Amino acid sequence: MSDRLSQRIESVAELLVHALELEHQSAECYRQLAQALAVHHNHAAAALFGLLADMSDARASAVMARAEGVSLPEIAPWDFKWPAAGSPQIDCDHVEISYLMTPLQALEVCLDKETLGREFYVLVASESPAAGVRVLAAEMAEERRERVELILTWIRGERGVATRVPEDLDPPNLPG
């Protein structure tokens, strides 16, 4: 369903609205995952998603500060120019999420989401017709790269410890 590939971001204001949406929605998505996993007593994975939610909140505030004084256009939720149908991170449809996921699996989900977010900025940095947009998008891609690197470091650390599979003492009556 990737039918928006050719749409290009043409102004800094438009890029800022996309960046804000991306950060707000990624914070929402991570927080939702953190809450859902906490409800199911998977506190290790919940803590990781909670941490990522806080980091996204901080990034949203940074984008907000950058947007100070810029008149931002209002964009309908379906008119964002994401490379695929959902935003790289809003697409929080979670098929890969399980209440029994390990911290390593949680980190892998975060890595996917952060990588997609970075790819969005890289695409804008290479495809926008406006030089100012390309510069700002490249800066944002670099920030994302740092976050991707951080998660990779955590993943390496997690691979080094014994797998912590959460236990379910009362499993659902699953189809056989």
Partner 1 sequence: MDAASVIPTLRAKDYKSDVVPVWCPGCGHFGVLSAVTKALAYLKLPKERVALISGIGCSARLPAYVGAYGFHGVHGRALPLAAGLKAARPDLTVLVAGGDGDGFSIGGNHFLHACRRNMDMAYIVMDNEVYGMTKGQASPTTRPDWAKSKLTPHGTGIRPFQPAAIALAAGASFIARGYSGDPGGLTRLISEAIEHPGFGFLHVLSPCRTFRPEQSDWKHQVHRSDKGPTDDPAEAAHSIQADDGMTLGLLYARRLPVWQPDNRATATTADLEGAFVV
**Residues near partner 1 (CB under 8 A):** 1, 3, 24, 28, 32-33, 35-40, 42, 76-80, 82, 85-87, 90-99, 101, 172-176
Residue of 16, 14, 3, 9 whose CA lies nearest to 125: 9
Give dist(CA 99, CA 57) in Å, integer.
24
Q: Phi and psi dihedrals of 155, rounded to 5? A: -65, -45
Query: Minimal distance in Å, beta carbon 22 to partner 1?
Result: 12
Least distance from partner 1 to the Cβ atom of residue 162, Å: 23
Closest approach, Cβ 173 to partner 1, in A, equals 5
Looking at beta carbons only, is 142 or 168 nearer to partner 1?
A: 168
Nearer to partner 1, 39 or 150 (CB): 39
45 in Cβ contact with 97 (< 8 Å):
no
By beta-carbon proximity to partner 1, the closer residue of 31 and 145 is 31
DSSP state of 160: T
Least Cβ distance, residue 165 to partner 1 (angstroms): 15
Residue 158 CA to residue 154 CA, distance in Å, equals 6
